[in-house]
């Protein structure tokens, strides 16, 4: 697992959006090779979505061959309700980009058979070959999607009763009235998220500091369901300084030093993307170094030619002196 710490919400959003954009580009999606993503709602991803829309508008990314699966949806709220996750996703992301309507999958909290709706959702994910990248946020109690404390870490998409803490936290979207918040939701399971080939979680704010500490400094525990990220082979948490308040100083220093070393090896613009991209970056760093060396050498050549002494193109400065000595017989 990697932990990236940024100053504030805006910087976290910028980092995560750039990361997602690069992952989509690196994947090179086509109509026969769709990029399948899991997506969250809540205030955490809003900044990311807005930046992704900017990337789309500037031509840096396309969603034409992207398929999405949303994490969750309230039960019983009409899909056009201002607080439904359908409305949220279309308002913040989908209606601003070139995603195809048929490629958007959001659980239907009004389905006649809710269990069947959950099974259908899991089956669709499997049919598309699984999720490439699952983006998530967490609640202050460390829940991911609506996998409240005590949820099985092997859970799949299902109907879930919301924890009182979540109902209170979400009352802010329902005129502050707890009574208006739906008490049931459909949600992907912890295992649905962790089955994704990559998991990226955004955590911001001091109110999530305890959850972040519990999830990464203590053991895997169903009372802090996002702690299951510790078992994931490719996961990334992007958090702000406030969210690190309960972490040990050495934990923060450790992860910051990893990022620092990483940047010193492959440059600040690579965000730790792996595989081919990383190799390409390293190759292009090597190529840039070679180009610089050749330029320097051709400059030296022209100086040497002025002095009647040309250099071999692949010589380093040590060879240069040797060859120069040989040519001049000294």
Ligand X SMILES: N[C@@H]1[C@@H](O)[C@H](O)[C@@H](COP(=O)(O)O)O[C@@H]1O
Active-site residue set: 72, 141, 143, 148
Please tell me whether residue 42 binds ligand X under the rule CB under 6 A.
yes
**Which single residue brings its beta carbon nearest to ligand X?**
42
User: Considering the complex, what minimum distance in angstroms separates the CB of residue 292 from ligand X?
Assistant: 45
Among 139, 142, 182, 189, binds ligand X (CB under 6 A): 139
- Considering only 29, 38, 40, 109, the residue that binds ligand X (CB under 6 A) is 40
User: Token pair of 294, please?
Assistant: 């050749």
* 44 contacts: CB under 8 Å, gap ≥ 6: 137, 138, 202, 203, 204
47 binds ligand X (CB under 6 A): no
The answer to whether the CB of 193 falls within 8 A of the CB of 134 is yes
* Count of other CB atoms within 10 angstroms of residue 55: 20
- Least distance from ligand X to the Cβ atom of residue 71, Å: 5
For 94-105, give one letter per residue: b (16+ CB within 10 A) or e: bebbebeeebbb
Contacts of 160 (CB under 8 A, 6+ apart): 146, 147, 148, 151, 184, 185, 186, 187
Among 44, 151, 235, 297, binds ligand X (CB under 6 A): 44
By rule CB under 6 A, what string of x and - marks binding of each residue 186-225 to ligand X?
----------------------------------------
Q: Is residue 266 a contact residue for ligand X (CB under 6 A)?
A: no
Among 26-34, 137-145, 293-301, 315-323, the segment contacting ligand X (CB under 6 A): 137-145
Which among 41-49, 245-253, 268-276, 321-329 is the span making contact with ligand X, rule CB under 6 A?
A: 41-49
Nearest distance in Å: CB 173, ligand X: 8
Which of 42, 182 has the CB closer to ligand X? Answer: 42
Minimum Å gap between C-beta 129 and ligand X is 24
Asked if 43 touches ligand X (CB under 6 A), the answer is yes
Total site size for ligand X, rule CB under 6 A: 13
- Near ligand X by CB under 6 A: residue from 17, 61, 145, 229: 145
Contacts with ligand X, 161-190, as mask; x by CB under 6 A:
-----x------------------------
Q: Residue 188: name the closest of 156, 236, 220 by CA.
A: 156
Closest contact distance (angstroms) between CB of 223 and ligand X is: 16
Say whether residue 138 binds ligand X (CB under 6 A). Answer: yes
Nearest residue (CB) to ligand X, 29 versus 47: 47
Min dist CB 200 to ligand X, Å, is 13
Contact flag: residue 9 with ligand X (CB under 6 A) = no
Rounded to a whole number of angstroms, the minimum distance from the CB of residue 120 to ligand X is 20
Look at the chain and count its residues: 330
Please identify which residue in 52, 71, 216, 247 interacts with ligand X, judged by CB under 6 A.
71
- Chain residues binding ligand X by CB under 6 A are 40-44, 71-72, 137-139, 145-146, 166
């Amino acid at each position: 697992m990697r932990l990236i710490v940024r100053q504030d919400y805006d910087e976290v959003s910028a980092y995560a959006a750039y990361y997602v954009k690069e992952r989509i580009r690196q994947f090179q999606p086509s109509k026969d090779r769709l990029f399948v993503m899991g997506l969250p709602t809540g205030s955490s991803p809003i900044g990311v979505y807005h930046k992704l829309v900017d990337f789309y508008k500037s031509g840096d990314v396309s969603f034409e061959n992207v398929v999405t699966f949303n994490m969750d949806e309230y039960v019983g709220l009409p899909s056009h309700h201002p607080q439904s996750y359908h409305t949220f996703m279309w308002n913040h992301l989908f209606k601003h980009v070139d995603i195809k309507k048929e490629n958007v999958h959001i659980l239907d909290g009004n389905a006649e058979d809710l269990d069947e709706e959950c099974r259908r959702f899991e089956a669709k994910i499997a049919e598309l070959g699984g999720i490439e990248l699952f983006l998530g946020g967490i609640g202050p109690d460390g829940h991911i999607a609506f996998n409240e404390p005590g949820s099985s870490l092997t859970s799949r998409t299902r109907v879930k009763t919301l924890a009182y803490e979540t109902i209170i936290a979400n009352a802010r979207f329902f005129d502050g009235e707890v009574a208006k918040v739906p008490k049931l939701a459909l949600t992907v399971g912890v295992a649905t998220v962790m089955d994704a080939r990559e998991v990226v979680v955004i955590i911001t704010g001091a109110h999530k500091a305890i959850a972040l500490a519990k999830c990464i400094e203590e053991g895997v525990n169903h009372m802090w369901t996002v702690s299951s990220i510790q078992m994931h082979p490719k996961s990334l948490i992007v958090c702000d300084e406030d969210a690190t308040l309960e972490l040990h100083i050495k934990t923060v220093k450790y992860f910051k030093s990893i990022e620092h070393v990483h940047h010193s090896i492959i440059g600040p613009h690579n965000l730790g993307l792996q595989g081919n991209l990383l190799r390409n970056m390293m190759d292009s760093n090597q190529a840039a170094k070679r180009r610089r060396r050749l330029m320097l050498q051709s400059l030296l050549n022209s100086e040497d030619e002025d002095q009647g002494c040309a250099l071999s193109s692949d010589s380093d400065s040590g060879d240069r002196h040797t060859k120069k000595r040989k040519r001049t017989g000294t």
